[in-house]
């Protein structure tokens, strides 16, 4: 195990803390809270076995209303798998202490009073090709407030890590420590915005980082900080933040294409010469700003001395000083004064790469909350984009007018469309992927709706399956089986209907019409075997099946039970969850957020109101609370 030094030393526990971070995010976020795997420092490595999601959920439930995570932490540390993990650290009390402190940071995120939560965003998908994490305000945060529990820890990068960690985005340059550091913990999920509403501050002298609101942050607003002025290329010209989008700058600016082609050739030549000099053995980072020697040419391409180039990190954030006058961090000068700030977001190889734009890109640039509240928000690439340079295509795609423009459609409307389409047995218009079809609902059909509603009600009273929770659907969706004859019967009925018009299957969730989603045998897939006969790249459509009221008496949301297959997923929000978990499984729910909280807090959410003295004002505005009031109805399908 690497030797431990103080945070100010050249080598600290970055390797260990990054391993801890990966381990903790797997067991405390990916496994039970989140619907995408969060980015890992060591994406390839397999973390040790941790406690099961059910165990952690039980712990969280037991301590959900605690004002401090201390009891939760000790219960967590007492779990057998955590104990055996800690046993491996017994030789180093300091490492053990760091693990405990880091676990506390992640566990604290589950306190009911925490004013933020993690969400997902598709904003950066055009570049990163994946959903990314973002941090959203759960309640109003006044300006100047330190955002409770949105914290992290900076650890200096050891030379091994410097070479080993090829691409980790949470590397920051600390002026105080004079070193590149890894930032780990919940605050590493905060994204950059050119007009941020918060900023990083240092807390104490041990590399602990917090986030302070610099203006009032509204409920559901994303919490953002400014990494640096030149973090995403010169003047952040690759920045994809909402502010740049609004102002038509950065990634969305008209000059970007011209610049990026120049930059491409410049950086290619810089890279070539850099490659030669990088054969040397020096990997140590600069210890202060004055060490870095860099300049910019007229094209905005930063040129480094050989030495600076050797030390360049691909991406770095900058930690600002604290708002108080006694700052442990010297006020940063210009971000560009350090060579690390010249991070080329689009590497040469990336720019050369031919873009493979999916022909169906949805929900671009919005977050989980948006998705929950705005049931549809679609950017549809009208046709597959053909070979061109990456920057060009990305630009074209991003310039499409409907980016970020919500398209509102009520679930009921979607369902009506679905019913009408299915009843008609065919579509009278060409419906392309991603396009929303329109049709008239026949009078005959409308009369039938009432009958079907009644029919559904009758059936529902006979069903015995208990309401579902996140833990149930999370455990192993593929193991989930239909658990009542009534369900199976309904499913059969639905399947028959689908098979009557096999070319057209409708996903009642997201209003998508799909063709040809039937197996080789011409039947709708009913089990894993059927599913495996289907091509991977097809969206498998989940027929709506049965709705059920949430067991929480304070929640009016309905669970939707359905059965489906697998498929690719381009969406976040509830839909992503739905697709991720129910594509294979028999069970799905309507609102991921409601269900997630239900799973974690054991339907205790409304009890927040009993903590009147503390949170009564905020509770009213709390988006989770609000979300739980969302009524989703799909009942008219039968
Ligand atoms: C510190 S991380 C923030 C959390 C990250 N979104 C995640 O999923 O873990 C920084 C990364 O977020 C993305 N990012 C954040 N803000 C961005 C912006 N304004 N423009 C482009 N990418 C951004 C980039 O992929 C960057 O490497």
* CB of residue 239 inside a 6 A radius of ligand 1: yes
Q: What CA–CA distance (Å, rounded) separates 301 from 266?
A: 7
> Which one is predicted more confidently, 562 or 404?
562
C-alpha of residue 192 to centroid of ligand 1, in Å:
6
Q: Which residues of 464-483 are buried (b: 16+ CB within 10 A; e: fewer)?
A: eeebbbbbbbbeebeebebe
Q: What CA–CA distance (Å, rounded) separates 455 from 488?
A: 15
The crossing angle, in degrees rounded to 10, of helices 592-601 and 53-63 is 80
- Band (pLDDT 50/70/90 cuts) for residue 566 is very low
Among 129-133, 214-218, 252-256, 342-346, name the one with the lowest average pLDDT.
342-346
Which pLDDT score is estimated for 375?
25
* CB of residue 132 inside a 6 A radius of ligand 1: yes
Q: Given a cut of 70, is residue 395 above it in pLDDT?
A: no
* CB of residue 227 inside a 6 A radius of ligand 1: no
* CB of residue 191 inside a 6 A radius of ligand 1: yes
* CB of residue 245 inside a 6 A radius of ligand 1: no
Q: What CA–CA distance (Å, rounded) separates 597 from 578?
A: 16
Q: What is the mean pLDDT of residues 145-154?
A: 90
Q: What is the mean pLDDT of residues 301-326?
A: 34
Phi/psi region, residue 496 (left: phi>0; alpha: psi -120 to 50; beta: rest), is alpha
C-alpha of residue 187 to centroid of ligand 1, in Å:
12
- Band (pLDDT 50/70/90 cuts) for residue 234 is confident
Maximum average pLDDT range among 248-257, 399-408, 455-464: 248-257
Q: What CA–CA distance (Å, rounded) separates 474 from 59?
A: 16
Which pLDDT score is estimated for 59?
84
Among 46-50, 102-106, 276-280, name the one with the lowest average pLDDT.
276-280
C-alpha of residue 348 to centroid of ligand 1, in Å:
19
Q: Given a cut of 60, is residue 252 above it in pLDDT?
A: yes
Q: What CA–CA distance (Å, rounded) separates 491 from 484?
A: 11
* CB of residue 315 inside a 6 A radius of ligand 1: yes
Which pLDDT score is estimated for 459?
45
Q: What CA–CA distance (Å, rounded) separates 578 from 583?
A: 7
* CB of residue 120 inside a 6 A radius of ligand 1: no
CA-192 nearest atom, ligand 1: 16
CA-121 nearest atom, ligand 1: 6
Q: What is the pTM of this model?
A: 0.52
pLDDT in tens, 62-94: 776 666 788 889 999 999 999 998 888 888 888
User: Ligand 1 test: best mutation among 18, 22, 30, 191, most atoms within 8 Å of CB?
Assistant: 191
* CB of residue 582 inside a 6 A radius of ligand 1: no
The sign of the CA dihedral 384, 390, 392, 398 is positive
The sign of the CA dihedral 178, 183, 187, 193 is positive
* CB of residue 188 inside a 6 A radius of ligand 1: yes
C-alpha of residue 189 to centroid of ligand 1, in Å:
8
* Residue 228 near residue 317, CB atoms below 8 Å: yes
């Amino acid at each position: 195990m690497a030797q431990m030094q103080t945070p100010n030393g050249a080598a600290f526990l970055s390797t260990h803390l990054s391993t801890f971070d990966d381990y903790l995010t797997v067991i405390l976020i990916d496994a039970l809270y989140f619907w995408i795997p969060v980015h890992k420092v060591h994406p390839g490595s397999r973390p040790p076995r941790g406690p099961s999601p059910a165990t952690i959920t039980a712990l969280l439930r037991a301590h959900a209303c605690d004002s401090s995570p201390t009891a939760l932490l000790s219960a967590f540390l007492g779990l057998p798998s955590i104990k055996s993990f800690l046993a491996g650290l017994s030789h180093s009390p300091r490492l053990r202490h760091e693990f405990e402190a880091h676990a506390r940071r992640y566990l604290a995120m589950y306190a009911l009073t925490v004013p933020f939560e993690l969400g997902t965003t598709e904003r950066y998908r055009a570049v990163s090709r994946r959903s990314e994490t973002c941090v959203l305000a759960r309640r109003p945060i006044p300006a100047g407030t330190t955002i409770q529990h949105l914290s992290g820890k900076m650890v200096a990068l050891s030379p091994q890590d410097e070479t080993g960690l090829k691409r980790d985005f949470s590397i920051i340059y600390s002026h105080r420590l004079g070193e590149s550091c890894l930032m780990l913990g919940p605050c590493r999920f905060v994204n950059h915005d050119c007009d941020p509403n918060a900023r990083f501050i240092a807390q104490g002298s041990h590399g602990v980082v917090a986030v302070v609101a610099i203006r009032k942050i509204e409920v559901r607003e994303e919490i953002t900080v400014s990494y640096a002025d030149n973090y995403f290329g010169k003047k952040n010209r690759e920045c994809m933040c909402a502010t740049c989008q609004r102002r038509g700058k950065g990634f969305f600016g008209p000059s970007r294409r011209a610049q990026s082609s120049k930059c491409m050739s410049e950086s290619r030549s810089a890279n070539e010469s850099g490659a030669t000099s990088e054969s040397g053995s020096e990997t140590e980072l600069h210890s202060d700003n004055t060490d870095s020697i860099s300049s910019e040419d007229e094209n905005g391409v930063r040129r480094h001395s050989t030495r600076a180039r050797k030390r360049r990190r691909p991406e770095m954030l900058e930690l600002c000083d604290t708002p108080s006058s006694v700052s442990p961090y010297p006020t940063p000068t210009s971000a560009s004064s350090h060579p690390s700030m010249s991070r080329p977001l689009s590497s040469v190889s990336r720019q050369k790469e031919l873009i493979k734009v999916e022909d169906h890109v949805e929900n671009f640039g919005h977050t989980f909350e948006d998705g929950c509240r705005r049931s549809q928000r679609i950017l549809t690439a009208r046709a597959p984009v053909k070979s061109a340079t990456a920057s060009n295509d990305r630009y074209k795609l991003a310039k499409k007018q409907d980016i970020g423009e919500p398209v509102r459609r009520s679930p009921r409307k979607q369902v009506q469309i679905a019913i009408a389409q299915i009843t008609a047995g065919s579509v009278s218009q060409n419906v392309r992927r991603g396009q929303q079809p329109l049709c008239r609902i026949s009078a005959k059909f409308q009369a039938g709706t009432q009958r079907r509603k009644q029919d559904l009600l009758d059936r529902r009273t006979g069903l015995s399956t208990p309401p579902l929770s996140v833990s149930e659907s999370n455990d192993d969706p593929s193991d989930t089986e239909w658990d009542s004859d009534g369900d199976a019967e309904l499913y059969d009925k639905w399947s028959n209907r689908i098979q009557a018009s096999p070319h057209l299957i409708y996903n009642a969730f997201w209003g998508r019409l799909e063709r040809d989603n039937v197996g080789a045998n011409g039947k709708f897939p009913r089990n894993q075997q059927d599913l495996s006969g289907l091509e991977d790249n097809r969206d498998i459509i989940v027929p709506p099946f049965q709705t059920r009221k949430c067991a929480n008496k304070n929640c009016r949301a309905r669970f939707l039970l359905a059965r489906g297959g697998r498929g690719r997923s381009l969406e976040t929000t509830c839909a992503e969850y739905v697709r991720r978990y129910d594509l294979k499984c028999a069970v799905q729910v309507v609102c991921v957020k409601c269900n997630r909280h239900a799973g974690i807090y054991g339907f205790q959410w409304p009890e927040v109101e009993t903590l009147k003295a503390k949170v009564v004002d905020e509770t009213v505005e709390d988006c989770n609370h609000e979300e739980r009031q969302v009524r989703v109805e799909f009942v008219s399908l039968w």
